[in-house]
């Protein structure tokens, strides 16, 4: 039975990979509808021939890597179970310590290590790809340092979650999913509070914006939007990437506005103010808190479905997977696999909500700054810096895009400008 499950699992992954290779490289049409030819949304008007070619090549390979990466996780966890490695990790933990908490820690370090090794080739290919296309400027040593920080941050977080989760499973076999969700609410908020001041600085250096004149203009915008911001932060990303970004992070007293130094170096002041107005819209319209609420609702449903699916799978294939019960830590790979599948399946919904919020933020920003030229040039420069497709394939948009496509964003600005002219002539 185990061999049969493994064979069909690997076969399904190969068929899935071949489908997306065919879809992205031979079937999907990324050309613009004819009515946009020659418009400011047409990449041919602001990218040269080489940039157009590189954009298509880079996007296709990057999208293929995305669609291959998540299901690879599922195959990894499936094989960990079928080959009895999860059982071996538990045995090594029990042989190394008599304390339950240390046994859990040892089990997790082995699972995390094997996962790191298994996913490293795809991670390195992604890093190498971004270097080849001049998106990344990061050295291998710097990238490896970030990968190791990721490993230990994820391990520490996972250790806390898994220790509490399996304790709840043993205490309440029927309600553990609900109690786990209730505890996840304060934990999620606590992690969001810590993110800007504890976790993010592990990767990069943050400091108050050096350009005080620009900071004053940004804070004036924030004051107009009734945002209690005292400082704008910049982060040194130029040594890692040529891409552009800005964001609002954290909650409560730890919330902050952050600009990548690449954004400061490559965009004009008007373009930066448009981006800042966009980020402020998320605060004004409470998108962060709506996002937290949506995440918590989805996680409640996800934990309940995971509880039901785990019981079904273990009742039917527990022997093949070498899992005697749900509350045995050997079931952790199954738990992670199911949760990952549910997150992947729900991503079109969460991306749709995110794209709606980002559209609202774009509209807020253009109304606030009333500078269509700066807005359009910003989106064009973002496209150039990230070698993004202006009109990506449908499945890519559904599963990958938390923002509207550049075609949609630039078209919205053009529509705004047209409406303004019509209203002015009335």
Rg of the chain in Å (alpha carbons): 24
Cβ-contact 425, 417 below 8 angstroms:
no
Sheet containing 206-208: order of strands = 206-208, 232-235, 256-260, 246-249
Contact 331, 323 (CB under 8 A): yes
SS3 of 85-106? HHHHHHHHHHHHCCCHHHHHHH
SS3 at position 242 = coil
Which one from 279, 285, 358, 408 is the annotated catalytic residue?
279
245 within 8 A of 237, measured Cβ to Cβ: yes
How far is residue 270's CA from residue 377's CA, in Å, rounded to a whole number? 10
For residues 303 and 308, what is the distance between their CA atoms, to the nearest angstrom? Answer: 9
The 10 Å Cβ neighbour count of residue 57 is 14
List Cα–Cα distances, 262 to 216, 242, 244, 265, 308, in angstroms.
20, 6, 6, 5, 47
Q: How far is CA 218 from CA 86, 215, 248, 359, 373, in A?
A: 52, 5, 13, 21, 19
Catalytic site residue 285? no
| Longest alpha-carbon distance in the chain | 82
Cβ(97)–Cβ(106) below 8 Å:
yes
Reported as half-sphere exposure (CB side, CA atoms, 13 A), residue 219 has a value of 15
At 232 the three-state DSSP class reads strand
User: What is the DSSP secondary structure assignment for residue 135, as one 8-state letter?
Assistant: S
Pairing type for strands 246-249 and 206-208 reads unpaired
Mind telling me the catalytic residues? 279
């Amino acid at each position: 039975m185990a061999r049969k499950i493994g064979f069909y699992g690997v076969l399904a992954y190969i068929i899935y990979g071949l489908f997306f290779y065919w879809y992205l490289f031979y079937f999907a049409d990324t050309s613009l509808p004819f009515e946009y030819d020659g418009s400011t949304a047409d990449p041919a008007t602001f990218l040269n021939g080489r940039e157009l070619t590189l954009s298509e090549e880079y996007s296709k390979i990057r999208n293929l890597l995305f669609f291959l990466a998540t299901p690879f996780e599922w195959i990894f966890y499936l094989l960990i179970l079928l080959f009895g490695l999860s059982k071996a990790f538990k045995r090594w933990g029990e042989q190394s310590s008599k304390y339950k908490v240390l046994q859990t820690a040892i089990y997790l370090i082995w699972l995390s290590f094997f996962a790191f090794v298994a996913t490293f080739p795809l991670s390195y290919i992604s890093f190498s790809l971004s270097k080849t296309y001049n998106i990344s400027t990061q050295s291998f040593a710097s990238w490896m340092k970030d990968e190791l920080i990721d490993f230990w941050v994820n391990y520490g977080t996972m250790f806390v979650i898994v220790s509490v989760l399996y304790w709840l499973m043993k205490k309440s076999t029927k309600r553990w999913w609900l109690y786990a969700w209730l505890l996840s609410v304060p934990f999620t908020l606590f992690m969001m509070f810590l993110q800007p001041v504890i976790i993010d600085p592990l990767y990069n250096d943050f400091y108050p914006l050096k350009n005080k004149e620009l900071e004053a203009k940004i804070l004036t915008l924030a004051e107009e939007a009734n945002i209690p911001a005292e400082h704008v932060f910049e982060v040194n990303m130029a040594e890692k990437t040529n891409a552009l970004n800005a964001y609002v992070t954290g909650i409560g007293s730890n919330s902050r506005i952050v600009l990548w130094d690449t954004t400061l170096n490559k965009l004009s002041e008007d373009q930066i103010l448009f981006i800042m107005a966009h980020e402020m819209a998320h605060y004004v319209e409470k998108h962060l808190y709506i996002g937290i609420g949506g995440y918590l609702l989805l996680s409640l449903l996800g934990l309940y479905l995971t509880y039901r699916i785990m019981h079904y799978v273990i009742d039917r294939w527990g022997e093949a997977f070498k899992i005697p019960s749900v509350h045995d830590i050997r079931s952790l790979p199954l738990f992670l696999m199911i949760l990952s599948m549910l997150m992947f399946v729900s991503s079109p919904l969460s991306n749709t909500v995110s794209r709606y919020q980002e559209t609202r933020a774009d509209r807020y920003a253009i109304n606030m700054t009333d500078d269509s030229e700066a807005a359009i040039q910003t989106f064009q420069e973002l496209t150039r810096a990230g070698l993004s497709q202006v009109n990506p394939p449908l499945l890519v948009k559904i599963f990958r895009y938390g923002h509207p496509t550049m075609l949609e964003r630039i078209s919205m600005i053009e529509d705004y400008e047209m409406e303004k002219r019509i209203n002015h002539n009335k």
